[in-house]
Structure 1
Amino acid sequence: MKRSYSLRAGFTLVELLVVIAIIGVLVGLLLPAVQAAREAARRMQCSNNLKQLGLASHNYHDTFLTFPAYRQKAGSPSAADFQGYGPLISFLPFIEQQALYDQIKTVSRDFYLPISPTVDNLVATTPMAAFSCPSDMPFPSATVRGNCNYAVSAGSNIGWTIAESRRNGVFGMDAPTRMAMIVDGTSNTILFSEHLTGDGDDGTYRQKTDLVRAQPWSANESTQQGPITDAQVEAYGQACDAGRNNHTSYYGYRWGRPVYIYTVFNTVAPPNWKYPSCMTCSTCGAGDSKGVFPARSRHPGGVNVVLADASVRMMTETVDLQLYHGLGSRNGGEVVTLP
């Protein structure tokens, strides 16, 4: 009896290995493109958040005829400087958060009382998509979700306790500014930018998100006093890097506070500075001190900024430092052209 055999087509081992190799190459080519597309989407969302803050600041100005100071000091005589209310609180009614603003206003008795644990807890438990850049990682805490990636510009000065006349940003510490005071032009003056959130781990140093303490500043304090030179910024950065053992890791921790590491930055050092953010105070837990507090982001190559005309631009980390100082100053008389 004659037997019949059926022949089954198949791959040889060599063919299978070739196919696997081709698939591996294609996946290797595809993944970076997918990651780039995702980052482009995150960056677009981040840019849109800044655009909304720029428009909110204009609406605030239309209502009150000023921009808010970056520190709304509590009315109580016993309130310390850092116990005031941050600038982003002032913008809540203009980003459809009137109810939250009213809650804070009621608890603080019309901002008379120093910022309290009740207000801090309200902020901590209220994550705000409008204040968060999706390219960054949130603060690693199950209870503190009210983080902040956006900061108002205090200008090209080291801030806090310097003379009021040297505070050359759109946002002053105590004195509100008006649109007419931006004499350098709204399209040539930075209003907001980005910064990163820390990790709350003071035992581990991370250059991008930690703040170094106790580094005295001996150079000029602002462009009003004379240009802060590239060499002076570089020297300070090196000193700060050497003092990294004394640092804190709470950048972007709360959006309700009026200090540098939470809601304020300056343009003394370039975006994504290669050195850590740094302040002169030796014991301050937050940025209630003079210092250098750069804009930072996880976007490749630079940071998003919103100008005083409410337009959003990407500011490269290789920007000329003196040009960047001019963009931070509202009244320095610099002739600048955005790169």
Structure 2
Amino acid sequence: MLTRSSATSRSGSRNGLSLIEVLVVLGILGLLMALLLPAVQAGRAAARRTQCRSNLHQLMVAFNVYQSAHQLYPGGIEMYTTQILPLLEQQPGADRSPVLACPSDPLEPDGSIDRSRFSYPMNDGLGSYSYPGIRNGGPRVSDRDVTDGTSNTAAFSEKLALPTFAGQLIDWDDHTDIWNRVQRRIHGAPATLEEYFDLCDTQAGRPLATWLLWTEYNHIMTPNNNNCTLVPSPDNRGLNFYEAVASSSAHSGGVHVAFADGAVRFISDSVDRKVWWAIGTRSNGEIEANEIFQ
């Protein structure tokens, strides 16, 4: 009399999977992972971008609370430490805050202001006192000085942080992947802002020997473009262009900009340079800024 097990064995059936079946299952699982991974990465990137936007919103709340109380915008070297961070419930005198660090930056800024390890500098206009922004090297600015309109004038934007070895002499050939974070040399005697832009856009050379620590940015160059400094020469003495410190981010396609009215908008890297210049100044009478909001 045959038992069930012997009958099963004689009939050729088996317990388990063949090698081909295992490979098919693994292939299907691999395909599913390949389909899901980009979606997961995109979801994480979207979450980081949302957090970055939220950080700028919080910064602008503090900015406008200070403006309402003092009838002046925050300003000066102590702007973050004594004027803005206390309104974000940070300890008085603190020189860093997680609110000032964009989570999308792969260098993971810690919000430290004095070492440019923070993500949200103030708008310094077009690099000349003739084209002022919200930050001003002279008297402090208020709403009445923003004659172009607070909804058309940038107050803060993003800037990729400097690494932890900022300030050290380094071999630039070991760090070519982050040349976009530092100032690069340009040579010439540009007579106009357009000429300066073209030099920086197309002829930026090697970076300077050391890092430069900025607590502001300007609108000379469009977002995620080069940072540049004009190498002094007899031909360009007397030119009143500052260094170009571009807004930059690790977000795909552009940067967040916080306007003086408190609104935060995402602006494309491909924005027309005249529009970018227009929102960088507070009192030049431009009207082109409206084009980016349509």
TM-score interval (norm. to shorter): 0.7 to 0.9
Deviations 1:194-242 (A, max 9, x none): 001122373133222222257566333xxxxxxx32x541223333x22
Corresponding residue number in structure 2 for 1:62: 68
Count of residues paired in the alignment: 264
Counterpart for residue 272 of structure 2: 320
Gapped regions of structure 1 (runs ≥ 5)? 73-84, 102-121, 221-227, 251-260, 283-288
* 1:52 aligned partner: 58
* 1:138 equivalenced with 2:144 (yes/no): no
Relative to structure 1, is the Cα distance of residues 212 and 245 closer, same or farther in structure 2, using a 3 angstrom cutoff? closer
Shift of 1:263: 1.8
Q: Deviations over 1:125-162 (max 9, x none)?
A: xx41111001112359xxx988211100011x224xxx
Alpha-carbon distance change, 185 to 139 in structure 1, aligned in 2, over 3 angstroms? closer
State the partner residue of 2:118.
148
**Higher RCO, 1 or 2 (CA under 8 Å, sep at least 6)?**
1
Question: Does the aligned pair in 1 maintain the 2:52–2:102 contact within 8 Å?
Answer: yes
The 5 A counterparts of 1:236-251 are 236-239=200-203, 241-242=204-205, 244-249=206-211
Which structure has more helix as a fraction of its residues? 2
The alignment status of 1:196 with 2:160, answered yes or no, reads: yes
1:217·1:236 contact (CA, 8 Å) conserved in 2? no
Question: TM-score, with normalisation over the residues of structure 1?
Answer: 0.71
Larger Rg: 2
Structure 1 residue aligned with 2:190, among 184, 199, 218?
218
Q: Which residue of 1 aligns with 2:19?
A: 13
The runs of 5 or more residues in structure 2 that have no matched partner are: 233-240
Q: What whole-Å deviation, never above 9, does each CA across 1:97-120 have from its counterpart, x for those lacking one?
A: 2x323xxxxxxxxxxxxxxxxxxx
Q: CA RMSD in A?
A: 2.5
8 Å contact from structure 2 (residues 55, 99) kept in 1: yes
Q: Secondary structure of the residue that 1:290 maps to in structure 2?
A: coil
Structure 2 length-normalised TM = 0.81
| Deviation of the 1:296 alpha carbon | 0.3
Q: Within 1, Cα distance between the matches of 2:268 and 2:103?
A: 19
Supply the AA of the counterpart residue of 2:122: V
Select which of 73, 78, 84 maps to 1:91.
Answer: 84
